[in-house]
């Protein structure tokens, strides 16, 4: 889809019939039944209706409360512990509705249009609250934040129980949902990558598709809606555990099937504009093309996974920086640095992905990697805490005990290089039972570069020069471990 507000559909003025629909499904409020939702990150709760009353608590973005009384621009609510307090009306919304995500993975943006930056992604079926609109875009509160979503990618859910669901009035009506734009055609292709096979499905409009699962049956099957451009048929792959890829007409659209030799792990990710689907098939080492004599390193940019709970941003700094985005940039710089040295690098993700913690470590096992490094930014409830630390896991008497010295050596090598390059406080090499470390059967460490919860270190983490220094330090630490 071509970005720009010029292509957005013009939503017609609300007709009398649509106003009747809103009043029918979202009845006018009655005090004691009306619900409000907090639309700011943190909202103060006071003992009375005014800023001069004592502060008795705080509530966070997305919390919903029944409105018990309105007075002088303040609403009286009851907290979960039974305490009664007052919140100012400027930072809550009364007229809101519930929406459900309809696309496979839908982008949440910072403003009402595709030319605004993406702030998150949500999977199909996620329910969110709409607190405003502009054109055919909804301003929404979603798990983890606030942003904008295209109207054609969501469905409005009618209110059925005013005591359990937020009520809405006709004072600030929401426009009818625009129809989803038609797609001019979809095509696909594939290529060999260090970790296996990468399949790309591309359209010039956001893709709409569903995934079918087959328990115990090694295949991937998707059904795409919209016109199909590539010829239908079968292409034999016979590489990296992928037998063939076939396309055929389905009940609704076009079936896209990938047949595998075994039940091999894979991850799917969608481009920021929703027009390109990438399927990375992670194949076992004996089915990969591994260059003779090359060391293999798996780099794992932490977080960034998509699940039924939404998009995992990792920690979010006080300035709004997302851990998942920062560590991905650093991870890609580490990949480039090592690749230039002749190391074969496998990335667990190159963007947001459907990937569990266990699958990250399994990628290293399947590739027979020489090292696994998971990259993170630390976080604390105290904004004053700062510093760099590196973790390993190999307790005496465990399955990993034989690798204890190697894992500790890798952790120390990376830690030393980071301290020399970044000059942050030394929090040391530590041992911790992290899922990615206990899943990996190869020398594995987890790096906490700095604290994103610390305002100073958050600024450093978002600085390109700092990211480059951190990446080079991690790369040098890995290199010194591989070639002591």
CA distance 364 to 345: 10
Task: Identify the CA nearest to 230 among candidates 252, 211, 203.
Answer: 203
Give me the pLDDT at residue 219, please. 84
Give me the pLDDT at residue 181, please. 39
Task: Identify the CA nearest to 301 among candidates 355, 376, 378.
Answer: 376
Task: Show the tokens assigned to 144.
Answer: 């983890």
Average pLDDT on 374-380 reads 96
Return all residues near 92 (Cβ < 8 A) that are at least 6 apart: 36, 37, 38, 39, 43, 75
Lowest-confidence pick of 233-247, 315-329, 425-439: 233-247
CA distance 275 to 326: 24
User: Is it the case that residue 444 has pLDDT exceeding 60?
Assistant: yes
Task: Identify the CA nearest to 322 among candidates 189, 145, 176.
Answer: 145
User: Is it the case that residue 368 has pLDDT exceeding 60?
Assistant: yes
Q: Which domains does the chain have, with CATH numbers?
A: 5-27+94-169 (2.30.30.40), 35-93 (2.30.30.40), 186-282 (2.60.40.3500), 290-482 (3.40.630.40)
Return all residues near 180 (Cβ < 8 A) that are at least 6 apart: 152, 153, 208
Among left, alpha and beta (phi > 0; psi -120 to 50; other), residue 270 is beta
CA Rg value for the chain: 25
CA distance 165 to 398: 50
Give me the pLDDT at residue 291, please. 59
- Cα–chain center distance at 8: 25
User: Is it the case that residue 23 has pLDDT exceeding 60?
Assistant: no
Segment 173-197, tens digit of pLDDT: 333 343 333 445 788 888 766 567 8
CB 226 within 8 A of CB 324: no
CB 174 within 8 A of CB 133: yes
Helix (H, G, I), strand (E, B) or coil at 214: coil
Cβ neighbours of 8 (radius 10 Å): 19
Segment 140-185, tens digit of pLDDT: 887 667 888 888 788 887 654 433 333 333 333 333 343 333 445 7
Task: Identify the CA nearest to 425 among candidates 415, 435, 434.
Answer: 415
Query: What is the enclosing helix (H) or strand (E) of 386?
Result: none
- Cα–chain center distance at 352: 5
Cβ neighbours of 475 (radius 10 Å): 26
Give me the pLDDT at residue 215, please. 60
Lowest-confidence pick of 32-36, 113-117, 385-389: 32-36
Helix (H, G, I), strand (E, B) or coil at 398: coil
């Amino acid at each position: 889809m071509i970005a720009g507000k010029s292509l957005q559909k013009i939503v017609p003025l609300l007709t009398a019939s649509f106003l009747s629909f809103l009043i029918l499904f979202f009845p006018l409020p009655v005090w004691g039944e009306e619900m409000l939702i907090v639309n700011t990150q943190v909202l103060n709760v006071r003992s009375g209706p005014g800023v001069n009353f004592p502060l008795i608590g705080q509530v966070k973005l997305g919390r919903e409360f029944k409105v018990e009384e309105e007075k002088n621009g303040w609403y009286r609510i009851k907290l979960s512990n039974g305490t009664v307090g007052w919140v100012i009306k400027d930072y809550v919304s009364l007229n809101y509705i519930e929406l459900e995500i309809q696309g496979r993975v839908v982008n949440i943006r910072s403003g009402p249009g595709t030319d605004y930056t993406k702030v998150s992604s949500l999977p199909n079926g996620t329910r969110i609250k709409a607190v405003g609109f502009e054109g055919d875009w909804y301003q929404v509160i979603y798990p983890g934040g606030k942003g904008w979503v295209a109207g054609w990618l969501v469905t409005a859910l009618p209110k059925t129980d005013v005591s359990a669901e937020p009520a809405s009035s006709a004072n600030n009506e929401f426009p009818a949902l625009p129809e989803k734009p038609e797609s001019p055609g979809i095509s696909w292709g594939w290529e060999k990558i260090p970790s296996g096979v990468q399949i790309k499905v591309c359209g010039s409009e956001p893709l709409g598709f569903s995934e079918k699962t087959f328990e115990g049956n090694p295949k991937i099957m998707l059904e795409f809606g919209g016109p199909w451009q590539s010829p239908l048929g079968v292409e034999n792959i016979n590489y990296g555990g992928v037998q063939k890829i076939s396309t055929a007409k389905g009940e609704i659209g076009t079936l896209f099937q990938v047949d595998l030799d075994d039940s091999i792990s894979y991850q799917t990710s969608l481009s920021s504009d929703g027009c390109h689907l990438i399927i990375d098939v992670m194949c076992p080492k004996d089915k990969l093309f591994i260059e003779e004599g090359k060391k293999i390193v798996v780099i794992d940019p932490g977080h960034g996974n998509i699940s039924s709970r939404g998009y995992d941003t990792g920690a979010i700094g006080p300035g709004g920086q997302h851990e998942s985005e920062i560590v991905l940039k650093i991870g890609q710089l580490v990949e480039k640095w090592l690749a230039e040295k002749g190391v074969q690098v496998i990335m667990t993700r190159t963007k947001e992905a459907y990937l569990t913690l266990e699958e990250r470590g399994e990628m290293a096992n399947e590739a027979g990697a020489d090292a696994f490094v998971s990259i993170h930014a630390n976080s604390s409830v105290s904004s004053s805490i700062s510093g760099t630390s590196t973790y390993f896991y190999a307790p005496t008497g465990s399955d990993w005990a034989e690798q204890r010295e190697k894992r500790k050596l890798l952790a120390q090598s990376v830690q030393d290089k980071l301290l020399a390059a970044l000059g942050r406080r030394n929090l040391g090499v530590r041992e911790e039972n992290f899922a990615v470390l206990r899943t990996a059967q190869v020398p594995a460490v987890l790096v906490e570069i700095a604290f994103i919860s610390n305002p100073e270190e958050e600024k450093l983490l978002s600085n390109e020069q700092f990211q480059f220094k951190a990446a080079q330090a991690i790369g040098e630490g890995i290199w010194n471990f591989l070639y002591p």
